Structure 1
Amino acid sequence: MKLYHLRSLFFICVLFGSTIVVSAQTDKVTTTTIGLGWANNSVNTVVFRKNSLVTFKGEQYAAYYNNDQALVLAKRKSGSGNWQVAATQYKADAADAHKDISIMVDGAGYLHVAWGHHNQTLNYAKSIKPGSLTLSAQQSMTGVGENKVSYPEFYRLQDGDLLFVYRDGGSGNGNLVMNRYNITTQKWVNIQQNLIDGEGKRNAYWQMCIDKKGTIHISWVWRETPDVASNHDMCYARSNDGGLTWEKSTGEKYMLPINAANAEYTCRIPQHSELINQTSMFADDGGNPFIATYWRDSSSTTLQYHIVFKTSSSWHSANLGFRKTAFGLGGTGTKLIPISRPQIIAWNKSGKQSVAIIFRDTERGDKVSVAVNNDLQSANWQVSDLTAMPVGEWEPTYDTELWKDKEVLNLFVQKVTQVDGEGKANVAPTKVQVLQWKP
């Protein structure tokens, strides 16, 4: 079904025109360097790291692989340029860009770390005490469904407990698992063994966030095969009770597991639309979800960034429209792509909804760039660069907890090289930095 036929569906994609203003905002940016990191692929900078940076009670933590493929942890007092850096006892096959490191600090101050997964047995440890960069021995969580782990992600709930979300299974044939960590008992329990069911035919590539009220929002595209070209559609669910029960944006309860037949479709996007997977989403203070991604509309040859968002009773899609270069998206493995997957943040200013997407585009010299709209109803986007130098095949990740608390954006930045199809470059290690920008 073509996108312009969607007006006959219950969920409608509305494509807005965009006015683009180009400027530079490097004067609003500060950076600090942590150390040198592995740069032979994009494993330190893939967009699905949750998280690369995290702040808890005035201290910010970071994680990355160094040039020896060792897992490195670091922390600093918020705003300080002095980092405490510690290489851990753990290594991973950093040459596979899927095998990222994800971290989170629980409400008791313990740092939790998962690393080195691409259909691998779970690699997980936590700090030996609150505030420490020394990790415990590896441990399991629940002991069930932990042999084919991919895309580990941590999230902190309002009460300080953690969620851990991952794919159990392979590309085109996998299910979404969710565990919860109790800071009182210091134990993990499984709360969803198969939240989104691929039914042995497909799998969901998701993005997730938790808003200030504690509601969990998740959105995803379906993939039919390991070929990225088989990505299609955008779906949505939310939970108001820590992930136990789920509903659609209308409040209608889901019968679990969610599958292709009962999912809420926020936007219908056909296969072979250059639709990317694993991007980002954000929910504002009112609990309104915003999803950032990219695809090519059926009426265009050029792939564009889009945001999909909910206002009152309707889903909408905005085509940012500022890109000019076409490219195709297909094949398996980590691809060499001329643009990054985007991150999205949103805030309210003077009663108007502001949104920003953070991205990297070869058209703009592969710099860290941002597109800001200070009134989403106007569709006026201001595009600017946050760095003067290129960052290679970098993708954006940021400190979600710092943004949630202070509305200050701290980005994990490193210049990296990605060879197409899971290739490995041979370059010297590069600086791992934290870039700060306040809209």
Structure 2
Amino acid sequence: MRKRGIGLLCAATLCYGIGAIAQQKAQLIPVADGWAANSVNAVIFRKNALTTYKDTQFIAFYNVNKQVVLGKRKLGKSQWILHTTAFTGNASDAHNAISIMTDGKGYLHLSWDHHNNVLHYTRSVAPGALQMEAPMVMTGKHEQKVAYPEFYKLPGGNLLFLYRDGASGNGNLVVNTYDIATRQWVQLQDNLIDGEGKRNAYCQTTVDAKGAIHISWVWRESPDVATNHDMCYARSTDGGITWEKTTGEKYTLPITAATAEYACRIPQQSELINQTAMYADEKGNPYIATYWKPAGTQVPQFQLVYYHQGQWHSSIITRRITSFSLSGTGTKKIPVSRPQVVVNNKGKQVSACVIFRDAERGSKISVATCKNIARSQWEIKDIYEASVDQWEPLYDTDVWHTKGLLHLFVQQVAQGDGEKTENVPPRPVSVLEWKPVF
């Protein structure tokens, strides 16, 4: 496909402009420079880096001074309004990411700077505003050892807030819900998934069109990433109060390793990554994108675990040839990103699109598409041709669900192995707009 030769704005090896994009329908919208010495601005468990209310899109990132920067623009426009807040975070730790979400009234909710520490949370002073209130508690319960805060929007505009209470290898999953009418948070679950003091669950979550909440997770036995194992699943059809298996069998809470539904059995030392992504189609079927070494092999492959016609299945997406190890603690420098997944139903046929980064492909932004996952025939192409280094895919779920467009948060970021930073300058933050063709 012919590329349009618009003049490029280049920084180091990453070029920003339409000429760097392999799809004519793709467009890159520059925002500003952001912190890039590690991957904290581009880790996949940011839920979310982008969020939209009506025709206004919001963004958040750390700047070079480790301050939280908020921005907004009108969809279809390239001009951003930016506001540097008074909030700072330990951006040198890639766990301490920023998560945002707009509620059904247009208020922006913000949580930032967490790795087993006290909750940092606030919301905007008015709908659509970038100015935030002073930090506040949510419920005041289990808010001293927070990690991985994530927002999700329910139909009608209420919110969910999920986080880990505890530490790696020994933590529990907390679920809060926010009512837009009362503007109050309530704790639904203080221990939805119980590590029993022996392990903790690393989750990925999605909310489907009917409001069902889907959670899948891997267990980790210790802070060593190599102790990740298995893929489990639960869903709630009543806003997070009760939980069940795909069979409809109700869970007795909290869910433990002995009572969990296992979507896929994966042993330790399989290079199974944690905290990837999932999606649920219009029929409520869950899809989990991740990677691990298939049995009897030495090379991790991107894979899709999904539920179809009453059974769990898995599909190998890639044919990678380079092995690597996840052994160790802290944020790793990994030659692949964790993947994102979106799906599209066409009658009985389900199409899927998986977004990822792989050093074998030059660390570009790549997509794997499958027109019929039952046939497991995947085609891979690059939609952004420059290296994004240690970037992981983050997209605006609101724009995807309302317009069928992928708006990806893009920044070339570094990452030293074992939670180290690298000596790199601030790098441009942008939004890549792209429409998948299923």
- TM-score scaled by structure 2? 0.94
The aligned counterpart of 1:217 is: 214
Matched to 1:256, the amino acid is L
| Correspondence 1:177 to 2:174 | yes
Deviations 1:293-320 (A, max 9, x none): 0000221111101100000110001111
SS of the equivalent of 1:380 reads: coil
The aligned counterpart of 2:184 is: 187
Match of 1:359 among 353, 356, 363: 356
**Deviation at residue 377 of structure 1 after TM alignment:** 1.8
The aligned counterpart of 2:150 is: 153
The aligned counterpart of 1:14 is: none
Deviations 1:14-65 (A, max 9, x none): xxxxxxxxxx943231110111000000000001110000111111110000
**Deviation at residue 324 of structure 1 after TM alignment:** 1.3
Match of 1:110 among 107, 110, 116: 107
Q: How many residue pairs get matched? A: 416
Matched to 1:72, the amino acid is V
Matched to 1:249, the amino acid is T
**Deviation at residue 406 of structure 1 after TM alignment:** 1.5
The aligned counterpart of 2:324 is: 327
SS of the equivalent of 2:364 reads: coil
**Deviation at residue 401 of structure 1 after TM alignment:** 1.4
Matched to 2:398, the amino acid is E
The aligned counterpart of 1:419 is: 416
The aligned counterpart of 1:410 is: 407
Kept after mapping to 2: 8 A contact 1:204/1:223? yes
Using the aligned pairs only, state the percent identity: 56
Match of 1:286 among 283, 288, 295: 283
SS of the equivalent of 1:248 reads: coil
SS of the equivalent of 2:384 reads: coil
Matched to 2:259, the amino acid is N
Larger mean CA deviation between 104-113 and 317-326 belongs to: 317-326
Once residues 227 and 303 of structure 2 are traced to their aligned partners in structure 1, the CA distance between those partners, rounded to angstroms, is 19
Pick 1 or 2: higher relative contact order, CA cutoff 8 A, min separation 6: 1
Please give the residue correspondences for 1:286-305 in structure 2 after superposition, counting only pairs within 5 Å.
286-305=283-302
| Correspondence 1:42 to 2:36 | no
Once residues 114 and 220 of structure 1 are traced to their aligned partners in structure 2, the CA distance between those partners, rounded to angstroms, is 22
Deviations 1:414-439 (A, max 9, x none): 00000000001121111100001101
Kept after mapping to 2: 8 A contact 1:342/1:396? yes
Please give the residue correspondences for 1:163-312 in structure 2 after superposition, counting only pairs within 5 Å.
163-312=160-309
SS of the equivalent of 2:136 reads: coil
Kept after mapping to 2: 8 A contact 1:50/1:102? yes
Once residues 178 and 171 of structure 2 are traced to their aligned partners in structure 1, the CA distance between those partners, rounded to angstroms, is 23
Kept after mapping to 2: 8 A contact 1:408/1:438? yes
Once residues 275 and 255 of structure 2 are traced to their aligned partners in structure 1, the CA distance between those partners, rounded to angstroms, is 18
Kept after mapping to 1: 8 A contact 2:22/2:385? no
Deviations 1:246-285 (A, max 9, x none): 0001100000000001000010000000000000000011
**Deviation at residue 356 of structure 1 after TM alignment:** 0.8
**Deviation at residue 350 of structure 1 after TM alignment:** 6.4
Matched to 1:126, the amino acid is R
The aligned counterpart of 1:17 is: none
The 1:207/1:388 distance shift into structure 2, 3 A limit, reads same
**Deviation at residue 112 of structure 1 after TM alignment:** 0.2
Once residues 41 and 379 of structure 2 are traced to their aligned partners in structure 1, the CA distance between those partners, rounded to angstroms, is 28
- CA RMSD of the aligned region, Å? 1.0
The aligned counterpart of 2:10 is: none
Larger mean CA deviation between 375-384 and 112-121 belongs to: 375-384
SS of the equivalent of 1:398 reads: coil
Once residues 389 and 23 of structure 2 are traced to their aligned partners in structure 1, the CA distance between those partners, rounded to angstroms, is 18
Once residues 351 and 170 of structure 1 are traced to their aligned partners in structure 2, the CA distance between those partners, rounded to angstroms, is 42
Once residues 28 and 355 of structure 1 are traced to their aligned partners in structure 2, the CA distance between those partners, rounded to angstroms, is 19
**Deviation at residue 349 of structure 1 after TM alignment:** 3.8
Matched to 1:309, the amino acid is Y
SS of the equivalent of 1:397 reads: coil
SS of the equivalent of 1:44 reads: helix
**Deviation at residue 400 of structure 1 after TM alignment:** 0.9
Deviations 1:308-360 (A, max 9, x none): 00001100011113211111111000000000000011012465211011000
Match of 2:378 among 378, 381, 389: 381
Matched to 1:405, the amino acid is T
| Correspondence 1:162 to 2:178 | no
Kept after mapping to 2: 8 A contact 1:102/1:115? yes
Matched to 1:296, the amino acid is K
Match of 1:60 among 45, 57, 62: 57
SS of the equivalent of 2:402 reads: helix
Kept after mapping to 2: 8 A contact 1:26/1:388? no
Deviations 1:197-234 (A, max 9, x none): 00000000000000001000000000000000000000
Match of 2:24 among 1, 24, 27: 27
Once residues 119 and 170 of structure 2 are traced to their aligned partners in structure 1, the CA distance between those partners, rounded to angstroms, is 19
Deviations 1:142-165 (A, max 9, x none): 111100000000011112111100
